[in-house]
Structure 1
Amino acid sequence: MRFVHCSDVHITEDYTKYSLLRLGWRRWFALVELTLGGRAKRYLRAPEVLSAIVRDAESHRVDHLILSGDLTAYALDGEFDGARKALGPLAEDPRRCSIVPGNHDVFTPGSIRADRFARHFGQLLKSDLPEYQREGPYPFVRLVGTEAAVVGLLSTRRAPLPAFPYGEIGEAQLGGLAALLRDSRLDGRAVLVTVHHAPRNRKGRPDRWNHGLRDADALLRLLPGPRFAVLHGHIHERYYHPATADRPHLFGAGSSTEAGHEGYWVIEVADGKVVGGQPHTPAL
């Protein structure tokens, strides 16, 4: 079986057409990054690149596409619309696509109150084993074929300030995941756990305290060995740490649509285990 893993696609609207009042103070800081920092330019072709990744997934004959968050630049409705359009029919089909939100998808209190992510992508949050949901729709489970299961976790929380985009899964979801892993319906399946924040950085260490996954160790303890993988984004670097006896495979997807760094993983599953992955660049 094959899975495509991409992340941090950051579909970006034209922010100059919005008033500062409409954008809100959190996005005022973002405007500096978008303009002087060059972020808007780096993601100018993001919809086109995401569509190319979807086409590649079809050509690779993958069984499922996984996107580990940050579909948007700063959680505007138009950005969610753009991501959904770029994904095409996959955005409507939970059998073929799983997505979890990133911190940029809940960037403002208004986007959280409106539950903007779920309004656009709630159709992909349905679970094949809903009895294990502990926090809204999370964790959700997708049974893919007879050899794999995709599990979606929520790690994004309302940051006190934009400079503190750390993540936390929480005891409730971790308890649901622990119970799920004991379910006989997962016997013989590789388990690909999707979460936005990184359990480990490129060097194999915990991420910065203000940016990382606060309960990373608790997550990794539940997933020992090559049967398991954690697929994440958030850190805009693409890297892979193979599984050990007491830790799962770790796939960091980087930023899949950033100019000059476009790419994604094709992850292979065989005999109920994750056997590795290969990085790919989309055919644009």
Structure 2
Amino acid sequence: MFRLAHISDIHLSPLPALTLRELISKRITGYINWRSNRKGSMTGGTLDVLVDDMKAQSPDHIAVTGDLVNLALDEELETAQRWLKTLGDPANVSVVPGNHDAYVPGALKKTRRYWQPWMLGDAQASANNPVEFPYLRVRGDVALIGVSSARATAPFMATGDIRERQARKLGEILDETGRSGLFRVIMIHHPPVRGAAPSHKRLLGIGLFQRTVRQHGGELVLHGHTHLATRYEIDGPGWKIPVICVPSASQSFGGNHKPPAAFNLFSIEKTNIGWSCHMLERGVVDDQMTIRTIREQELAVGAIMAPVEN
């Protein structure tokens, strides 16, 4: 059995001091949003308690689906690098960037450099190559596929995108790992589902993403961005693929209208008729930052095969 933990939208705090030059950009709107909406509701204390509980579940791997920072300042990216080192060995933690990690032009290039060890696919790491998306990491029977939807956008916009080159490579990886009989987990920041995010925060290329997985397959999609605990389904080649989001990992209890911090733990196991995937949700349940199990469920994943006869 392989145990995969999922957290997202870390939004590490506190926000560093900004220079006037840094504020003369889209960052001014983000700074105002942080001061008015997030400063008191997204806290490092909540994040620390959640991560401690997550580690106590002994996951084999941790998936982090973006927005580790707020304005993609150099100091923030360095802080996130240090935080990732405390989260786990790069071989056991996989990261994809979010829109806040690519907040202004040029930021995503720096993000890739600072967080490179946690974003390298197996082939890239062995060849000491730069970060490329999508990337592939294979751990046991599980294929972890990192897709980047992060891009710099105009003020008051938080859209992401996936384009033909990345979708084509994603299809190739899905085919390769499908032929190898692996459980394929796609990690992306923006939800690849219509209506899951408002228009100014949506993923551009939802149709392209869904056509890719409908043709090439997959077992599970993990995303962040909305700060909500949601479950959708999209079509695979003959089966439905669960699309799961998790609340922000630093959202305090009662901080605003968003649900408090939580993480998901997926227990994945190959059976004689396909795959078993048990999903456990744990999160903050009161203002004392108590962590408890919120719900458990079995996910229907992958194709159902004929039973093997004895």
TM-score tier, shorter chain, comes to: 0.7 to 0.9
How far residue 187 of structure 1 moved from its aligned partner, in angstroms, is: 2.2
The match for 1:222 among 206, 209, 212 is: 212
**SS state at 2:203 partner:** coil
Say whether residues 1:167 and 2:160 are aligned partners. Answer: yes
Q: CA RMSD in A?
A: 2.7
Alpha-carbon separation, structure 2, partners of 1:233 and 1:171: 22
| 2:174–2:217 Cα contact (<8 Å) kept | no
Which of the pair has more CA radius of gyration? 2
Q: 1:254 to 1:2 in 2, by over 3 A?
A: same
Report if aligned partners of 2:147, 2:188 keep a CA contact under 8 Å in 1.
yes
Counting only pairs closer than 5 Å after superposition, residues 203-242 of structure 1 correspond to structure 2 as 205-224=195-214, 228-241=219-232
Displacement after TM superposition at 1:89 (Å): 4.2
Larger strand share, 1 or 2: 2
The corresponding residue for 2:261 is: 262
Matched, 1:120 2:114: yes
Name 2:307's counterpart in structure 1: none
Structure 1 Cα separation of the partners of residues 279 and 24 of structure 2: 41
Partner of 2:52: 55
- SS in structure 1 opposite 2:90? coil
Contact 2:119–2:131, Cα closer than 8 Å, also in 1: no
Aligned position for 1:11: 12
Identity rate, percent: 24
> Is 1:157 aligned to residue 164 of structure 2?
no
Match of 1:68 among 28, 52, 65: 65
C-alpha distance 52-149 of structure 1, shift in aligned 2 (>3 A): farther
Listed as ranges, the gaps of 5+ residues in structure 2 are 125-129, 254-259, 285-289, 292-310
1:192 CA drift (Å): 0.7
Q: How many residues align?
A: 269
The 3 A distance-change label for structure 1 pair 94 and 88 is: closer
Return 5+ residue gaps in structure 1 as ranges: none
Structure 1: distance between partners of 2:226 and 2:204 = 15
Q: How does 1:186-205 map to 2 (within 5 A)?
A: 187-200=180-193, 205=195
Shift of 1:79: 2.0
Paired letter, 2:68 = L
Query: Which whole-Å CA distance do the structure 2 matches of 1:193 and 1:262 have between them?
Result: 22
When residues 14 and 185 of structure 1 are mapped into structure 2, their CA distance, relative to the original with a 3 A threshold, is closer
Which letter maps to 2:81? Answer: R
3-state DSSP of counterpart to 1:25: coil
Structure 2 contact 103–151 (Cα < 8 Å) conserved: no
Which deviates more, 76-85 or 216-225?
216-225
CA-CA distance at 1:94 after TM superposition: 3.1
AA partner of residue 60 (structure 1): Q
Deviating more after overlay: 1-10 vs 178-187: 178-187
Distance 2:217 2:56 in 1: 27
TM-score, normalisation: structure 1: 0.84
Amino acid at match of 1:264: F
Cα separation, 2, equivalents of 1:232 and 1:116: 22
For 1:22 and 1:241, locate their aligned partners in 2 and report how far apart those are by CA, in whole Å: 38
| Residues 38 and 89 (structure 1), Cα distance of their counterparts in 2 relative to 1, 3 Å cut | closer
1:41: which partner in 2?
40
Alignment match, 2:306? none
Contact between 1:54 and 1:87, CA under 8 Å: does it hold in 2?
no
1:185 deviates by 7.3
Partners in 2 of 1:276 and 1:242 — Cα distance?
Answer: 16
